[in-house]
Amino acid sequence: MKVIVVGASHGGHEAAHEALTRYKNAEVTVYEAGDFVSFMSCGMQLFLEDKVTERDDVRNFKPADLEKFGGKVLTQHQVTGINTDAKKVTVKNLATGEVLEDSYDKLILSSGVSPATIPVPGADLENVYLMRGRDWATKIYDKLHDDSVKSVVVVGTGYIGIEAAEVFAKAGKQVTVIDLIDRPLGNYLDAELAEKVRAELEKNGINLHLGHTVAAFEGDGTLSAVRDDAGQNFDADLAIVAAGVKPNTKYLEGTIDLDQRGWIKTDPYLRTSAADVYAIGDAILPLFAPAGQPAPIALASTARREARYVVETMTMEKPARSFAGVNGSSALPVFDYNLATTGVNANNAEKMNLKIASSLYQATIRPEFVKDGNPEILIKLIFNPETHAILGGQVLSKADVTAHINTIALAIKGKMTLEDLAEADFFFQPGYDRQWSVLNLAAQTALGEIPSV
């Protein structure tokens, strides 16, 4: 069985590894357009803060990791077209310009996304940077240590934007964050938790200019200022644009069905419109399980789950199960805070027209008699107001409580209710938690009870 994988990031690596280790007769080739396999963008903050062993260690795998199982990884090889009738791909060697054809029995598309630029004047000025991939990470690292860079404007308050803002603020730069959304991390956190993050960012010297868009990047060849939609100018020696992504699917137009924004259309088995062609990773809209709807979920963990499922089922004429979907679980440190989120929140519920209810639990992590190391914790639960099925959750604390989000994610997958979580059997030791776990107490609070501490 000849398998071609397009793209060597999280999903592509997982798909190739699974195929090589599950099927003895698999002949696997990975085509990667980039020259480096495969930088882990979610580790960029660690990279920029010199918290990694070596720069080139921030990667999923090395080609040798697949080659030892008999796989081939070809970098600087861009798939430019697919003939789905002949089951062939056209590939351009970006180093030599040579064009070749290769055949497949199974084709797995993991071509991913690219950071979106802002279509405003000056977007092509020197020192207007994007923040994704090894090349940009290296350029940003150099600017981080450049004494001539004193003011930085970050466009976007998602995870990437907040990471960039924190890194440059810690380096002593003057940082302004601009975004149309009215609160930091507003796509991930509800207002109560986002306000804690806002205060933390401002305490650390970051200027949040929210509720505004960028109208132009200004400068004579090189960036000097960023102008917003109200005509206000912000000095900028550097701008970091972290304003979303676009799918790398132009090469598929007219061959594989795409939606109007370019996302690859897949069925419940992650099959595309062409026979024996599958799609995984950031360029598809996987099932967002808590909502029962497809949604963009650009996470390494999502891509890997999709890849594992595809390789397991791609030899079956009719798989026994469809892809189970994902919750979109993620976590992030923001200065002294640690936060994590999973499933439905107020923002995506509104976009998906979901009827939800929510509850906030706020207390110290441990019993009140514990005087040292007993920070506050906030837990937000999102649930179905009629059935009490748990649909989402968010946690935030100055302690590392992010593992609680994995428990909530399991509760969502297991279709647990508030009543189930309110009585779930967790351990008690006062150095770690309360007699009722904070998750028990959060659920009891959501049920309208006055929880015993």
Per-residue pLDDT reduced to its tens digit, 88-111:
999 999 999 999 999 999 999 999
pLDDT of residue 26: 96
Q: Please tell me whether residues 239 and 280 are part of one structural domain.
A: no
Q: Please tell me whether residues 89 and 15 are part of one structural domain.
A: yes
Kindly state whether residue 331 falls inside one of the protein's structural domains: no
Q: Please tell me whether residues 340 and 391 are part of one structural domain.
A: yes
The H-or-E segment that residue 162 falls in is: helix 159-170
Q: What is the pLDDT of residues 45-62, one digit of tens each?
A: 898 998 988 878 888 888
Q: Please tell me whether residues 271 and 290 are part of one structural domain.
A: yes
Euclidean distance between CA atoms 170 and 158, whole angstroms: 18
Euclidean distance between CA atoms 65 and 359, whole angstroms: 46
Q: Please tell me whether residues 235 and 258 are part of one structural domain.
A: no
Pick the catalytic residue from 42, 77, 388, 404: 42
Token pair recorded at residue 308 = 């594992």
Kindly state whether residue 326 falls inside one of the protein's structural domains: no
CATH number of the domain bearing residue 346: 3.30.390.30
Q: Please tell me whether residues 263 and 194 are part of one structural domain.
A: no
Euclidean distance between CA atoms 79 and 167, whole angstroms: 35
Pick the catalytic residue from 10, 13, 17, 404: 10
Task: Find the angle CA(229)-CA(156)-CA(34) to the nearest 5 degrees.
Answer: 125
Euclidean distance between CA atoms 70 and 195, whole angstroms: 51
Q: What is the mean pLDDT of the chain?
A: 95
Q: What is the pLDDT of residues 211-226, one digit of tens each?
A: 999 999 999 999 999 9
Q: Please tell me whether residues 276 and 376 are part of one structural domain.
A: no
> From the CB of residue 53, how many other CB atoms can be counted at a distance below 10 Å?
7
| 388: annotated active-site residue | no
The position carrying tokens 């030892």 is 68
Q: What is the pLDDT of residues 346-360, one digit of tens each?
A: 999 999 999 999 999
Structural domain including 432 reads: 336-447
Q: What is the pLDDT of residues 263-275, one digit of tens each?
A: 999 999 999 999 9
The residues pairing with 103 across neighbouring beta strands, listed in sequence order, are 88
Kindly state whether residue 186 falls inside one of the protein's structural domains: yes
| 10: annotated active-site residue | yes
> From the CB of residue 9, how many other CB atoms can be counted at a distance below 10 Å?
26
CATH number of the domain bearing residue 294: 3.50.50.60
Q: Please tell me whether residues 82 and 231 are part of one structural domain.
A: no
User: What is the identity of the amino acid at 11?
Assistant: G
What are the residues whose beta carbons fall under 8 Å from the beta carbon of 375, sequence distance 6 or more?
Answer: 364, 365, 397, 398, 399
Euclidean distance between CA atoms 121 and 372, whole angstroms: 53
Q: Please tell me whether residues 6 and 110 are part of one structural domain.
A: yes
**Which of the listed residues 197, 225, 243 is the one where a domain comes to its end?**
243
Q: Please tell me whether residues 30 and 97 are part of one structural domain.
A: yes
What are the residues whose beta carbons fall under 8 Å from the beta carbon of 177, sequence distance 6 or more?
Answer: 153, 154, 155, 156, 157, 161, 162, 165, 184, 201, 206, 207, 208, 209, 210
Q: Please tell me whether residues 6 and 54 are part of one structural domain.
A: yes
Q: What is the pLDDT of residues 131-186, one digit of tens each?
A: 888 888 899 999 999 999 999 999 999 999 999 999 999 999 999 999 999 999 99
For residue 38, whether the previous peptide bond is cis, meaning omega lies within 30 degrees of 0, is yes
Q: How confident is the model at residue 453 (pLDDT cuts 50, 70, 90)?
A: low
Whole-prediction pTM value?
0.94
Is 208 within 8 Å of 198 (Cβ atoms)?
Answer: yes
